[in-house]
Amino acid sequence: AQSVTQPDIHITVSEGASLELRCNYSYGATPYLFWYVQSPGQGLQLLLKYFSGDTLVQGIKGFEAEFKRSQSSFNLRKPSVHWSDAAEYFCAVGVATSYDKVIFGPGTSLSVIP
């Protein structure tokens, strides 16, 4: 069955420091992969997506992610974190059923120290 794991439940970084959020997936075929961000009490905003091609994907707000098939990973990175980046981050995999549903990981909560 398809699944997504995010090993880190909570991460705290200092403002200006670099960030890496880990994501591993389990899926039999080439996956569609996504990273979403959710601010408290809000819906989800798409940060970036991977469908095919270049394995290093650039997203909004200075985020990037790298797809590594050999490791079944899709880690999210940002070189310098801003206080406004504090939020919940979800990695997700698109399942190629007839409806292309999306399965979410458990999420990583990011806190930023000023």
Binding site for other proteins (CB under 8 A): 32, 34, 36, 41-46, 49, 51, 90, 94, 99-107, 109
Say if strands 73-78 and 44-50 run parallel, antiparallel, or are unpaired: unpaired
- Residue 65 · residue 19 · CB < 8 Å: no
State in angstroms the smallest separation of the CB of 96 from other proteins. 9
Q: How far apart are CA 42 and CA 45, in angstroms?
A: 9
- Cβ proximity to other proteins: between 15 and 64 the closer is 64
State in angstroms the smallest separation of the CB of 107 from other proteins. 5
- Cβ proximity to other proteins: between 81 and 107 the closer is 107
State in angstroms the smallest separation of the CB of 48 from other proteins. 11
Q: Which of 102, 108, 100 is nearest to 34 (CA)?
A: 102
- Cβ proximity to other proteins: between 15 and 44 the closer is 44
Whose structure tokens read 């809000």?
Answer: 42
Whose structure tokens read 């601010």?
Answer: 39
- Tell me the two tokens of residue 53: 């091609």
State in angstroms the smallest separation of the CB of 4 from other proteins. 9
